[in-house]
Chain A
Amino acid sequence: MIVRNMLTRIFAALTRRPPPKVRMVATPAGAVRRNNTSLLQQRGWKKRPKSYSGPFATNFGTWSGRIEHAGGGFLRVYIKDPPMTAVDKHPKRPCFYRDKHGWWRINLATPPIDGDVNAVIHYVERVLTESFQR
């Protein structure tokens, strides 16, 4: 009996799960609901059959942009007349390639795993913001 109790306790100690470090909680009743609109909607991007067009907006300015589906889950990202004097200071400057008519292409090494265009807009806006903050 004693041995059985000891074995039960040892088994319980070994299989005991640690308390969770994160837990989801519901929004308090009556709280104002957060804005859940996507970046595409917030910025007013327009969807075309194989591309999106709209602005990259930051606290330092707004630049026209275009994102095209290149097939195989890859996306081609373009920005019109980017602030190259600021971008020159950013480590991602070599990923900006000059295209035609003032457009520049940003080469993506890691496209979003879910093909989400919002993530790309968010990333480009972050790079532009970081460029001005350097």
Chain B
Amino acid sequence: MSKANDFVRWTTPSNNLPIPYQPPTIALKPLPHPNRGASSMLDQISKNVAVKFVGAARPTQNLVLMPGTSTRDVLRELGLGAGFQLGDARNDTVFPLDDVLFARVQDGDLLHVSAMVDAGH
């Protein structure tokens, strides 16, 4: 008997009936990367805020804040350094520079950024 006949004998069942196709019962899906994609955990706990520039003609900027974000982080991201301040548009409070902004704003809040001004003697 030839080698080809041996192969057929090993791969076909004894009754010579074709094996019906059975779909796999477990579908393997790649897990989403924790730091990427809209369904990631970080995106679920982030907050979206809009920052309006009081003095400049610059359009309102939308930002996504992650936990632990400070006022200084936001100003740095906007390209503004010392001499500018960030405030809440609802009650006109000003956030200190090292304040954890993430804890003090709510999702969808509108913030104001303006040059720092203070009255004094």
Contact = CB atoms under 8 A, between A and B. Distances in A.
A39 B115 CA distance: 13
A34 B60 contact: yes
Interface residues of B, number: 40
Q: Which of B52, B77, B114, B119 has the most CB of A within 10 A?
A: B119
B118 A22 contact: no
B59 interface: yes
Interface in A1-58: 19-27, 33-34, 36, 38-39
Given A21-B73, A114-B115, A119 B55 contact: yes
Given A22-B74, A25-B48, A127 B64 contact: no
Contact of A113 (B54, B70, B84): B84
Contact of B119 (A22, A26, A127): A127
Contacts, number: 117
Interface residues on A, range: 35 or more
B55 A21 contact: no
A20 to B, nearest CB: 8
A83 interface: no
Interface of A: 19-27, 33-34, 36, 38-39, 92, 94-95, 106-114, 116-120, 122-123, 125-127, 129-130
Contact of B92 (A22, A33, A113, A126): A126
B39 interface: no
Q: Which of B61, B77, B92 has the most CB of A within 10 A?
A: B92
Contacts of A118: 54-55, 114
Given A118-B54, A119-B55, A119-B115, A107 B65 contact: no
